[in-house]
Chains A and B, each alone.
Chain A
């Protein structure tokens, strides 16, 4: 055996040809905090990958600042190994990540290296497709309007702030208000919200959505919990997790969302639908600020660099719905922003609000009142999603936002009034019922057809006789009843056609009355 190995090596050495080429080199003149200052390499390109030859092996770095006499590079590997005097070589390539279906179900770092201990991802890494981390967003002519819904499984969102495939919808709120929970629900819901077969897709049914969850600056324990949850719920079969936890260098946290976008684009380019969640862009902005300050870029407002808007704009612009000529794929983005003390007028929140096509605003007050998900319907908006909402949901929930707005106004007024007329009392009661019906636990996304029937029952006064405390119990009983008795005649037609026909509505009314009598 050893003889064979030696012979094989001999053959390889004998066949080895090496002609030294003229190479461009530089020298590390300063190193520290994950940043290297390199003299020479005057022909390096912006965002080009360079290799630092350290005593313990090659370390990659990203050329970030091109100055007159030196370049500032972000070290991507072990920064401790880099010493002053180390040689640096150009690679002529920009940063890219290996992409493919093999990534599904895996947890990777922003450079595509596995973090889940499940072994190598790609058998032959040389032949695998690589997507650049930085890529131009699809142009105007390459896009088509958002028209297919992306159901999150959250009633309040799917009914009032609908999201379409290819949209960018911001999830914003203070810490501990359920931002990640909504994103996770959206991932979990994609398993149940897909057409049963390719034939059904051909007939206009919804395709499955591949999800990419990008954890930026999160605690490792939180990422592990999410991965376990996704695994337990069977959602890892359509999910890729990109993790740059708080313990990782700022460079990795800066690259993570771009890696997520690059993976999402692979599916979009293949004519499929993908959903990418950036959790969260506040930490991403912090990481970029750290790098920028270390690179001695001039600080601007809140010490963020001047191009922080461009950073997030170019990232989120990559979410798109491509036209049929380009396969009709889509990339939907759900960026998350954490606010401090509900201040949505801070620098990063206002930036991302203006970039995205709407926002889901979560409020800690609502959360502590027990309204979960704590969506503030008044401040939340979806600018393009209504065009993608299914007819059934549009028909049922069109009045919902108005009813809730009126309820909130009346409820505030009623606090000061002792005597209320009958119609006001009715409206307040209806509002309470609607608020109750929109409540749901996390990790329990509701299929779209069940949302339609529940909201229909509440908004049309069919639940008026039920005490608010009993609404959830009635809803559970009602859904169970429909599943057992009316699966084929009510739920399936709504799920498959996305429409709410009059015949179905008649049957639904009948079912509600039957259920109430039980």
Chain B
């Protein structure tokens, strides 16, 4: 049976909560050994994301993703980050297909799309109704 990333995250989070900080290094090693043993090394990125998400939600935070068409100056990003709480996880991604503007996604579920790509798409739909 293959374990889902969320199962790994659950197991890791509950174990680390009970383990003294001095032993965390050993715990992480064992965790990675378990992942390898179950043949899930190829999914390590998803597993780590699930672990990270788990910690964020555990402390009552939200997973925020800010997407821009091109890299933003650090000062602008800092202003944006100030709008979120310290317990929120804010990640910044560059997606050239947005053309311009910003797209904000919360917990991978809800989004606010201020990108030019969306506006253009909507404009084309508005001007050329599909047959």
> Which residues of chain A have a CB within 8 Å of any CB of chain B?
9, 12-13, 16, 18, 20, 22-27, 39-43, 55, 69, 120, 125-126
Contacts and interface: CB of A to CB of B under 8 A. Distances in A.
A20 B6 contact: no
B25 interface: no
B4 A69 contact: yes
B123 interface: yes
Contact of B119 (A12, A18, A23, A42): A18
Interface of B: 4, 6, 97, 105, 108-114, 118-119, 122-123, 126-127, 129-131
Contacts of A23: 110-113
11 contacts: A16-B122, A16-B123, A20-B113, A20-B114, A22-B110, A23-B110, A23-B113, A24-B110, A27-B108, A125-B129, A126-B129
Nearest to B122: A18
A27 B4 CA distance: 17
Nearest to A121: B131
B112 A20 contact: yes
Given A20-B112, A23-B113, A39-B108, 7 more contacts: A12-B123, A20-B113, A23-B110, A23-B112, A24-B109, A25-B111, A125-B131
Q: Which of A12, A20, A24 has the most CB of B within 10 A?
A: A20
Contacts of B119: 18
**Main SS of chain B's interface residues?**
mixed
B127 A9 contact: yes
A22 B112 CA distance: 5
B126 A25 contact: no
A40 B109 CA distance: 5
Nearest to A21: B112
B76 to A, nearest CB: 19
Given A69-B4, A120-B131, A125-B131, A16 B111 contact: no
Nearest to A89: B111
Contacts of B118: 20
A154 B127 CA distance: 53
Nearest to A123: B131
B34 to A, nearest CB: 21
A43 B131 CA distance: 29
Contact of A25 (B110, B122, B123, B127): B110
Contacts of B110: 22-25
B131 A25 contact: no
